Amino acid sequence: MAYRAPRPHAVKHSALQNRLSRIAGGALFVLVMVVFAGIAERAIPPQHAPWKPLRLIDPVGAATRIKAARAGEDPAACRAILRRAGLEFSEVESRVPAPGCVIEDAITLDSGLAPMTPSKPVMTCKEALAVSLWERQVVQPAAYALLGEGVARIEHYGSYSCRRIYSAREGAMSQHATADALDVGAFRLTDGSTVSVLKDWNDPGPKGQFLRRVRDEACKVFGTVLSPDYNAAHNNHLHLDMAPYSLCS
């Protein structure tokens, strides 16, 4: 049988059908995505959902570190999260004490978490945000669960220090040089006893278990967490910073 070219109206009808099919397929895809997004919004807890805003009332989860770093890059958003959580803070004037060292977007936490001694450390807002989250969602729950007491004070060795890593003459600047790190040495409990990184890290009992738990969970909040397991330079403290890379030891 000889080939017959399709009539003009048949070609137009076929093109219209194809176009309607594509539109219907696209609409169906969008509908399915909306349904799945709605299910995910309800089913995934906020601590595991990167698209949900960071809140200090949420437990630490898979998305906490990502959200803390992201919130910390926006000074206004960082402060808003702290205020919504009931934390009070004071602004610290920006300055450049020495070449390579800068204090910028820094605050001191005044109330809303366990006091820090011997003084209120000067920290970038993102570091203060991470410390606050860690104290509320990791340190206090671990203390009650393992030690039967809350943490009344957090003893530290400082946050800002204009120096290179390990105070070397050459090499990269420390995160302390930008007030983006905190060294925690011990925890004073509500009963007056103390849990010390130096003395209790290798304790097989509750004190050692507490220290390792707050170290392990800190890795889900901070960029870098270093402990006595890392090297001898950290045998008496936990180093906690918000560097843009991940290191946990």
Q: Can you give the residue ranges of every domain in the chain?
A: 46-248
Q: Comparing C-alpha atoms, which of 196, 164, 191 is closest to residue 177?
A: 164
Indicate whether 172 pLDDT > 80.
Answer: yes
Q: Say how many Å lie between the first and final Cα of the chain, rounded.
A: 79
Give the model confidence (pLDDT) of 101-158 as tens digits.
999 999 999 999 999 999 999 999 999 999 999 999 999 999 999 999 999 999 999 9
Q: Are 150 and 143 in contact (CB under 8 A)?
A: yes
Lowest mean pLDDT across 21-30, 33-42, 55-64, 148-157: 33-42
Helix (H) or strand (E) holding 69: helix 64-72
Report pLDDT for 33. Answer: 43
Mean pLDDT of 228-243: 96
Report pLDDT for 100. Answer: 85
